[in-house]
A = this chain, B = another copy of it.
């Protein structure tokens, strides 16, 4: 069948069905998109055997009882009159985008981990394509972010983009916006359109939206979202002209989680939408990170909750996020830390160093008593400590060397 007909059918289905309409998804899986549309439009009957297959799939994959086609048609048919998939596709193309469908080679495999809840299609707007799954890292958080949260987000996302990673977020106020902005700055200036139509550039950031891509929502982020649409890419599973509703925001979160190898929550209240993204990520077996903060900050309570109650890993900088996203390949740089003079000393030498007087000298016999070491051990140890510059011999006996006082 002509792939563009399938695209047309899936475009229509993204308007007829709300995200995660599992009975609908099961029908599409069994009948295919084109045939499903013909059934919904009433041009063909589903037939007992095919309906049985849908019911079977629905119960086996989602544990849901198939309520019968009639019940489902009650949901879908009221929207049939508004259907204009050809127009929707023209609109999105005019905006420099399109509709990505599972039949396309560059369909992001990650979302198929959602099983029946995988999207019917992904509307996109912008010159870029989604990069390799392993290069996608989601950074999400509260809308009412703090200066602390925004500053940590900026530091992490600027570095991630500079390292060639793609930062996914939800395009909302607060942490989301800080993440997108820092990623854009981290990737540096790129000619709009990337490396040209034949070979799109890897995006610095991707905004996964809850509403149609013909509008920029929220209005306060219009400039930012417009820049992402011009340089990188916006994504949504709902067609142009669709309002972002509470339900669609919640569903959108599962896409952010599924599209990325790791999800990092920077700031979230005890109850927060960012936590729903985190739980989706954990449920999908994705790497999950949470940024700690003050125990007095309401905006960190959700992150601390994740650290307590989920598999979330504590992440404090971009290196730890990179390690989270590809644990096999990334090595954390060793932390710079003052090395104490006594590091690596044996127990005996540590006892002896403790026993050495700072100023006045001490005899081997006295040191043997103070340190609780035998005379031969003291003599051997003094030699080692002298070599290390920790002990010095004077006419008044053995003492701590100046450098050893640290």
Which A residues have a C-beta under 8 Å from some C-beta of B? 16-18, 21, 71, 73-76, 78-79, 81-82, 148, 152, 245-248, 269-271, 291-295, 300-301, 304, 307-308, 313-317, 320, 335, 337-338, 340, 342, 347, 350-351, 353-355, 365, 368-369, 372-377
B300 and A350 within 8 A (CB)? no
Q: Which of B320, B350, B369 contacts A247 (CB 8 A)?
A: B350
Smallest beta-carbon distance A60→chain B, Å: 21
B295 and A294 within 8 A (CB)? no
Contacts of A152 in B (CB 8 A): 295
Taken together as a complex, chains A and B put the C-alpha atoms of A152 and B300 apart, in Å, by 15
Contacts of A340 in B (CB 8 A): 271
In terms of DSSP, what is the predominant structure of the interface of chain A?
helix
Q: Which of B71, B74, B300, B320 contacts A292 (CB 8 A)?
A: B300
Contacts of A78 in B (CB 8 A): 365, 368-369, 372-375
Contacts of A292 in B (CB 8 A): 292-295, 300, 304, 307, 314
A342 and B294 within 8 A (CB)? no
Q: Give the top 9 A-B pairs by smallest Cβ distance, nearest first.
A: A74-B374, A292-B292, A245-B354, A307-B314, A295-B316, A78-B368, A78-B369, A18-B372, A271-B337
Smallest beta-carbon distance A94→chain B, Å: 25
Taken together as a complex, chains A and B put the C-alpha atoms of A300 and B315 apart, in Å, by 12
B293 and A317 within 8 A (CB)? no
Number of copies of this kind of chain in the complex: 2
Taken together as a complex, chains A and B put the C-alpha atoms of A250 and B161 apart, in Å, by 43
Contacts of A373 in B (CB 8 A): 74-75, 78
Contacts of A271 in B (CB 8 A): 337-338, 340
Taken together as a complex, chains A and B put the C-alpha atoms of A308 and B338 apart, in Å, by 21
Contacts of A293 in B (CB 8 A): 292-295
Cross-chain pairs A/B with CB under 8 angstroms, 9 sampled: A75-B373, A75-B374, A78-B365, A79-B369, A247-B354, A291-B295, A292-B294, A294-B294, A295-B317
Taken together as a complex, chains A and B put the C-alpha atoms of A342 and B75 apart, in Å, by 21
**Minimum CB distance partner of A244 in chain B:** B354
**Minimum CB distance partner of A332 in chain B:** B308
Smallest beta-carbon distance A248→chain B, Å: 8
Contacts of A295 in B (CB 8 A): 152, 291-293, 316-317
Smallest beta-carbon distance A35→chain B, Å: 21
